Structure 1
Amino acid sequence: MVFKTTFGEAGQEVSEQARDRVAHSVLKIGGSDLYVVDTDPGVRFAQGKQVNICINIADKEQAHKYYEALKEGGQVEHPLQEVYFSPAYGMVTDEFGVTFPIFMKRT
């Protein structure tokens, strides 16, 4: 495991049962990074939405371009903005029902 933080460690106000759920993690498998998270506290588990395609990007401007293109005809799940773990993070479900987290690593 390269990185892991729980909802409790992230400083979010969550129930005691949700404190140990994984908010963000990265597993290294060969030359690939696998991002693994638990369901957000308070969000109902949705059958069929277990896999997201994460766009990991180094450029904030390019992150905005992907975000704008994916949200056209789609639905914004999380607006692209700076959060505690990323200078540019957002999540969009595109017009075909595929969810794309867009993630820029902190340098």
Structure 2
Amino acid sequence: MITGINPYLITNGNGAEAVAFYKEILGAEVLALMTFAESPEQPETPMTEEEKSMIMHAHLKVGSADIMLSDSPAGMPCTSGDNTAIAVHTDSAEHAEHLYSHLKSGGHELMKIQKTFFSSMYGVVTDRFGVTWHVAAPETE
């Protein structure tokens, strides 16, 4: 039985920065945060101090949704955001525009935020961590 599906974001060593960013911009609540150094089972290959400080697992709560996040461990290549996008729904066009502008900071715009036939404000942006976001407000306000 499936009890839930959550997006799991993999970052390239900047997971702590991503957690702080999503906490500030999305109002995410950090439910869990563990570095590789805090793991009860250490890998057989030695880690650098930098690798030890990387995020092994983070659990963020955004509204009623859960997002998981981890840095890519050494030797495991990571291409952030390749085939995954996250849809975020806001309660107003103003909040959608605000959120979109912050997610766009350091990232790039894929679809300018605008009124569409299905949303009072909708846009697509890739943030500075390579994660693509579909930002949408209600159809009508």
TM-score, normalised via structure 2 length: 0.41
Unaligned runs of 5+ in 1: 1-30, 33-47
The answer on 1:100 being equivalent to 2:133 is yes
RMSD over aligned Cα atoms: 1.8
Offset of residue 65 of structure 1: 0.9
C-alpha displacement of 1:104: 1.3
Q: Which of 72, 80, 87 is the matching residue for 2:113? A: 80
**Structure 1 residue 64 corresponds to structure 2 residue 121:** no
How many angstroms does 1:58 deviate by? 1.4
The one-letter code sitting in structure 1 at the alignment partner of 2:125 is V
Shift of 1:93: 0.1
Give the unaligned 5+ runs of structure 2.
1-63, 66-80
Deviation by residue 1:46-79 (Cα, 9 ceiling, x = unmatched) = xx63221111111111111101101110010000
More strand by percentage: 1
Length-normalised TM-score, structure 1: 0.53
Separation in 1, partners of 2:85, 2:122? 14
Paired residue secondary structure (1:76) = strand
Describe how 1:44-55 pairs up with structure 2 within 5 A: 49-55=82-88
* In 2, Cα distance between equivalents of 1:104 and 1:62: 8
Q: Give % identity.
A: 35
Q: Where has structure 1 moved over 6 Å in runs of 4 or more? A: none
- The structure with the greater share of residues assigned to helix is 2
- Tell me the distance in 2 between the aligned counterparts of 1:104 and 1:63: 6
Count of aligned residue pairs for this structure pair: 62
Q: Which amino acid aligns with 1:103?
A: A
Corresponding residue SS for 1:78? strand
